[in-house]
Each structure stands twice: as C-alpha cells, then as structure tokens.
C-alpha cells in the first residue's frame, strides 16, 4: 500500500511533523515543557477541527 492511498497515515504524519515544529518553536520562545505541550495540543486540536470542517463542507458542496 502506498502512503498516499491511506489518508489516515498521511494525516498522522502531518500531525506528528506539526507537533514537533510547534513544540520546537515554543521551546525556543522560552515556554516550559508542560506549557508548550498544552499549547501545542490545543493548537493542533483547533487546526484539526478546522480541517475536518473544511473537508465536510467540501464534500457537501460536491453533491
């Protein structure tokens, strides 16, 4: 199975990359690890919800 054939694997890979990027940036800005983890989890949850809403709306527009 190719990676592009599985959207969940691609999504998991993207979330992992974004998690590391955001956590690294917050660390460079001086956030403590616990605060950075909370902020990162919150941001990824908000971004993930927005992406899901976008794809749901896109599917509705196709019909």
pTM: 0.69
Which of 15, 37, 16, 14 lies closest to 26, judged by CA?
37
Report the C-alpha gap between 19 and 38 in whole angstroms: 11
**Cβ atoms within 10 Å of 47's Cβ, excluding its own:** 14
pLDDT digits (tens, 9 = 90+) for 23-46: 999 999 999 999 999 999 999 889
Domain locations along the chain: 7-62
Residue 20 or 48, more confident: 20
Residue 58 has pLDDT above 90, yes or no: no
- From residue 29, how far is each of 17, 34, 43, 45, 60 by CA, in Å? 19, 14, 16, 21, 41
CA angle, 42 then 44 then 47, to 5° = 110
Residue 17 or 6, more confident: 17
């Amino acid at each position: 199975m190719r990676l592009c054939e599985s959207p969940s694997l691609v999504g998991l890979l993207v979330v992992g990359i974004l998690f590391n990027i955001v956590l690294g940036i917050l660390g460079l800005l001086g956030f403590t690890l616990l605060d950075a983890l909370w902020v990162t989890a919150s941001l990824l949850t908000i971004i993930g919800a927005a992406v899901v809403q976008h794809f749901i709306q896109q599917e509705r527009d196709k019909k």
